[in-house]
Amino acid sequence: MSSSDDVSKILLDAARAAYDKRGYLGTTIKGVAAAAGVAPDVAMRYYRNREQLFAAAMRLPFDPSTSIAQLLAPGIDGLGERLVRITLRMLDDPETRDQLAEMVRAGAGASKATASLREYLESAVVDRVVTVLGVPDARMRVSLATSYLLGIASMRYVLRIEPLASATEDEIVALVAPAVQAALTTPTEPTKAQSSGR
């Protein structure tokens, strides 16, 4: 292993420990660099931003945040399906699933491991999509869409609940994509109880 590989491994180990303790949003490259015993500019030579660091630490097969343009290019129609597919493909990689399980076994607990994944999906993928689309109630829409995606990921890959765990990608997309699409695009209005203050 070269010294470059050594530095990268130390950074990724420090990043995983930070995600276990502070989650994705509470982890900075500067903090990871300090924990790894290297200067921030050294860490930035390996990982340009927090998203790249998370993608590498979690052994994601690709960086979903770089796929925003591809997600949006076809327009709003079918956006829910594309988001479901990118989430499933991100977690279909055995190394990615193993890393998620490793975080759980390390003592962080499933809630901390999934919290980091939720924060990443929300800030790096869904939040950007909704912001670019300029739809109303963006924060609520992000929360709903992320909840659907994270729920499927947890049930399929962490808890392995059947028949979801063995369902095909197309089966899951057919069932889940309409809900994600609706969360992102359906106009929302307060209920009468909310409007009247009850």
pLDDT per residue as tens digits for the range 39-49: 999 999 999 88
**Residue 71 token pair:** 């997600």
Domain identity same for 105 and 35: no
- Number of independent structural domains in the chain: 2
Q: What is the pLDDT of residue 87?
A: 83
Domain membership of residue 193 (yes or no) is no
pLDDT of residue 144 exceeding 80, the answer is yes
Q: What is the pLDDT of residue 57?
A: 86
Give the chain's mean pLDDT.
79
Domain identity same for 95 and 16: no
Domain identity same for 3 and 86: no
Domain identity same for 49 and 129: no
Contact residues for 189 (Cβ-Cβ < 8 A; gap 6+): none
Nearest alpha carbon to residue 152 among 105, 95, 85, 55: 85
Q: Which of 57, 73, 94 is the last residue of a domain?
A: 57
pTM over cut 0.75 = no
- Determine the Cα–Cα distance for residues 16 and 38; give it in Å rounded to an integer: 16
**Residue 72 token pair:** 């949006």
Lowest mean per-residue pLDDT among 2-11, 37-46, 118-127, 144-153: 118-127
**Cα R_g (the chain), whole angstroms:** 18
Domain identity same for 112 and 180: yes
Q: What is the pLDDT of residue 193?
A: 44
Structural domain that includes position 17: 1-57
User: Greater confidence, 50 or 2?
Assistant: 50
Domain identity same for 145 and 71: yes
Q: What is the pLDDT of residue 40?
A: 93
Q: What is the pLDDT of residue 149?
A: 86
